């Protein structure tokens, strides 16, 4: 009897990685799980707020070339995607692009002036007290630095007054490690829908399993035209994700 074909959607930070000093650390046990999924010819999609460049330069450093080609990345909540060697950006109008650029500048200035910080835009965590801005192609991400007293709550104190005028165009998605600003209609749900369309063009997948560590990730379970079950993983506890993946691959009950 042929096993039903299943598919996997994964958040990255805190789900496939653990955290150390507010930055992601790759769990090699999870990498082995991804390779096992590939060998069984089940589709995999990474649904993340991280940039495509970060995933390819950091996360993908720990996997082999075959797996790199097999796994598409739906970065920045699906705004920028990488699949089979090609990067595709979502088309957004000039007004929204300009708004995002201006909001980034206004928020940066407000935060730096209030907290007496200098801006620092890089994927690598700074080793001193600065405003850490993570490079993105479309969305905006301000990272926290709890060791230096820069928390989500403190960032929001300056970000919310700037963004509140544009609630029909933009939304704020905070978590303990960052504050994201993105187009209003962008979500993990829309990113999951895009992933499923690309990964299952023939509609042969009977069930999708989505993994994440936040309620924002849970939005993947609301993807239209697909049966998606969501597993919320305690943030950074990759062992739990590993055990669930192995159970599902073995055909055990959900």
Consecutive H or E run containing 240: helix 238-249
Residue 1 lies in a domain: no
Residue 59 lies in a domain: yes
Residue 254 lies in a domain: no
Q: State whether 229 and 214 are in the same domain.
A: yes
Q: State whether 122 and 177 are in the same domain.
A: yes
Complete edge-to-edge strand list for the sheet that includes strand 178-183: 119-121, 131-134, 140-143, 178-183, 170-175
CA-based radius of gyration for the chain: 18
Q: State whether 134 and 61 are in the same domain.
A: no
Residue 62 lies in a domain: yes
Kindly state the average pLDDT of the residues 49-62: 92
In this prediction, residue 166 carries a pLDDT of 98
User: What phi and psi values does residue 179 have, to the nearest 5 degrees?
Assistant: -120, 120
Any idea what DSSP says for residue 206? -
In this prediction, residue 20 carries a pLDDT of 60
Q: State whether 99 and 144 are in the same domain.
A: yes
User: Which of 163, 183, 203 is the C-terminal boundary of a domain?
Assistant: 183
Query: Is the pLDDT assigned to residue 199 strictly greater than 70?
Result: yes
Q: State whether 74 and 98 are in the same domain.
A: no
The pLDDT tens digits of the residues spanning 135-190 come to 999 999 999 999 999 999 999 999 999 999 999 999 999 999 999 999 999 999 99
Q: State whether 123 and 157 are in the same domain.
A: yes
17 pLDDT band, cuts 50/70/90, is confident
Q: State whether 82 and 120 are in the same domain.
A: no
In this prediction, residue 79 carries a pLDDT of 98
Residue 144 lies in a domain: yes
Kindly state the average pLDDT of the residues 43-64: 93
Residue 29 lies in a domain: yes
In this prediction, residue 19 carries a pLDDT of 67
Q: State whether 224 and 199 are in the same domain.
A: yes
Kindly state the average pLDDT of the residues 123-144: 97
| 3-state SS, residue 143 | strand
27 pLDDT band, cuts 50/70/90, is confident
Structural domain containing residue 58: 6-90+186-249
Looking at the 3D structure of the chain, how many domains does it have?
A: 2
What's the CA gap between 235 and 32, in Å, rounded? 20
* CATH at residue 102: 3.30.1240
User: Which of 149, 167, 183 is the C-terminal boundary of a domain?
Assistant: 183
Residue 86 lies in a domain: yes
Q: State whether 56 and 120 are in the same domain.
A: no
User: Which of 183, 214, 229 is the C-terminal boundary of a domain?
Assistant: 183
Percent pLDDT > 90 in the chain is: 85
Q: State whether 149 and 216 are in the same domain.
A: no
Q: State whether 80 and 196 are in the same domain.
A: yes
- Are the C-beta atoms of residues 30 and 38 closer than 8 Å to each other? no
213 pLDDT band, cuts 50/70/90, is very high
- Are the C-beta atoms of residues 141 and 123 closer than 8 Å to each other? no
Kindly state the average pLDDT of the residues 10-26: 77
């Amino acid at each position: 009897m042929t096993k039903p074909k299943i598919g996997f959607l994964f958040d990255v930070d805190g789900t496939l990685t653990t955290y150390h000093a507010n930055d992601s650390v790759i769990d090699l046990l999870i990498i082995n799980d991804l390779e096992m999924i590939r060998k069984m010819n089940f589709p995999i999609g990474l649904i993340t707020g991280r940039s495509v460049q970060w995933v390819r330069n950091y996360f993908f450093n720990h996997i082999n070339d075959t797996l790199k080609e097999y796994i598409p990345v739906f970065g920045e909540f699906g705004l920028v995607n990488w699949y089979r060697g090609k990067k595709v950006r979502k088309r957004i109008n000039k007004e929204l692009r300009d708004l995002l650029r201006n909001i980034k500048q206004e928020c940066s200035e407000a935060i730096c002036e209030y907290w007496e910080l200098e801006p620092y835009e890089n994927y690598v965590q700074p080793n001193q007290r600065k405003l850490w801005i993570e490079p993105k192609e479309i969305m905006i991400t301000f990272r926290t630095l709890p060791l230096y007293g820069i928390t989500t709550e403190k960032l929001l104190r300056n970000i919310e007054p700037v963004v509140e005028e544009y609630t029909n165009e933009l939304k704020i998605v905070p978590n303990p490690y960052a504050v994201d600003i993105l187009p209003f209609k962008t979500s993990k749900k829309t990113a999951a829908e895009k992933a499923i369309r690309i990964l299952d063009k023939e509609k042969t997948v009977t069930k999708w399993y989505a993994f994440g560590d936040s309620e924002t990730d849970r939005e993947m379970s609301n993807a239209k035209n697909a049966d998606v079950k969501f597993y919320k993983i305690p943030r950074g506890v990759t062992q739990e994700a590993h055990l669930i993946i192995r159970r599902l691959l073995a055909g055990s009950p959900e």
